[in-house]
Structure 1
Amino acid sequence: VTGVNERLVVTVLGPDRPGLVEAVSKVVEGHGGNWEASRMVRLAGRFAGVLLVTSSDDVVDRLATDLRALGQEGLQVVVERGDDDAPPDSRAMELELVGHDQPGIVRKVSAVLASRGVNIDELDSTCESAPMAGHNLFKVHAMVRAPMALDVAALRAELEGLAGDLMVDISLAESVES
């Protein structure tokens, strides 16, 4: 790859079928791009993916155009230029939640985090059958980024109060990833 590297964030959504990842990767490679990171999943018969691609500045616009052209294959594709990573004045933290599945858990937890300036970098959630408990078990694993000036003890106390209201377990810990 020649020239200055540009970063593209690409999202892809469409009916799941074999060959979707191959189609996207073929376009990236065809322009000399580098596939740096991705998250892809099949949910309810749909394929959803987000990826970070770098490419030289002299071909990045053509790469973006050709990625968007995958829409002709029944995919919804959004391509945006990426920015720098996390601000240096923040710290990485890890949030875990486990409890009885109920509407509103993600909204309530994310509202507490947002009110204190905490950004959610990654969020993975699952709902699993818990036959012994007689209900579904909802699990969340999130990587968050908090301002260095944040009173972590106060945030933990607020999350513990919310956990009691929702009858779930929530933990928040410093992450080894910075």
Structure 2
Amino acid sequence: MMTSLVLTIIGPDKPGLVGLLSRTIADHEGNWLESGMSRLGGKFAGILITQVPTEQADALTAALQALEGQGLKVTVERGEEASPAVPMQPMTLELVGHDKPGIVREISQALAARHINVERLSTELTSGSMSAEELFKAEAELLAPTEMDPDELQQALEAIASDLMVDITLR
């Protein structure tokens, strides 16, 4: 039997950290499944899911937590079994606008109020091509209830976009 472990990782960015993690997982017969890792604020930060034989789960957890001695803090959570599927419709949201506090808060509140789950969120700051101002860009993969009216969501997001002075595209 296999156990899924969800890992969050943070530490000073330096070469070899992915190798250290992958070696530790492989040493415990684990399989690296999905991950997202980045250099953020001078730190190496990531999240990943691995599967390991159930009898190796505790030993792998201990080995990963011992990496703190090498500057890498790893938090381990056991994965949960997927709940029965409720019919959902996938959507993609793209946002571009001048950076200002509150953009993610406003959009996420509108989505949560409609029981829309954010499956993946990627954000970045870039320099505007016409000005020196920073642009905030976001892309989100969403799962929305099938009974949700996409037109109502579009109208709600357009109202928020107008207030925040950003462009939002929903597909």
- Once residues 132 and 61 of structure 2 are traced to their aligned partners in structure 1, the CA distance between those partners, rounded to angstroms, is 49
- Aligned residue for 1:60, secondary structure, equals helix
Whether 1:9 aligns to 2:16 is: no
Residue 116 of structure 2 corresponds to which residue in structure 1? 118
Q: Give the whole-Å Cα distance in 1 for the aligned partners of 2:4 and 2:116.
A: 24
Q: Which residue of 1 aligns with 2:42?
A: 45
Q: Equivalent residue of 2:121, what SS?
A: strand
Residue 160 of structure 2 aligns to which amino acid in structure 1? L
Task: Name the % identity.
Answer: 44
AA matched with 2:148: L
CA distance in 2: counterparts of 1:27 and 1:10, whole angstroms: 13
TM score, norm. by length of structure 2: 0.93
1:1-150 aligned within 5 A: 4-85=1-82, 87-150=85-148
Distance in 2 between residues matched to 1:63 and 1:93, nearest whole Å = 36
How far apart are the structure 2 equivalents of 1:150 and 1:64? Answer: 41
Taking only aligned residues, the RMSD between alpha carbons, in angstroms, comes to: 1.4
Deviation string, structure 1 residues 152-175 (Cα, Å, up to 9, x no partner): 2111110011111111111111xx
Which stretches of structure 1, 4 residues or longer, exceed 6 Å deviation after superposition? none
In structure 1, stretches of 5+ residues that fail to align are 174-178
Letter in 1 for 2:46: G
Q: Which digits, 9 at most, give the CA deviation of each residue in 1:59-79, with x for residues without a partner?
A: 112111211111121222110
SS state of the match for residue 148, structure 2? coil
Give the distance between the partners of 1:61 and 1:23, measured in 2 at CA: 18
Shift of 1:5: 1.6
The aligned counterpart of 2:167 is 169
Match of 2:9, as an amino acid? Answer: V
- Give distance in 2, aligned partners of 1:134 and 1:74: 37
TM-aligned CA distance change 1:48 to 1:152, over 3 Å: same
2:55 counterpart letter in structure 1: D
Q: Tell me how far 1:91 sits from its aligned partner.
A: 2.0
Secondary structure at the counterpart of residue 58 of structure 1: helix
- 1:176 corresponds to: none
TM-score w.r.t. structure 1 length?
0.90
Aligned-partner Cα distance in 1 for 2:62–2:86: 33
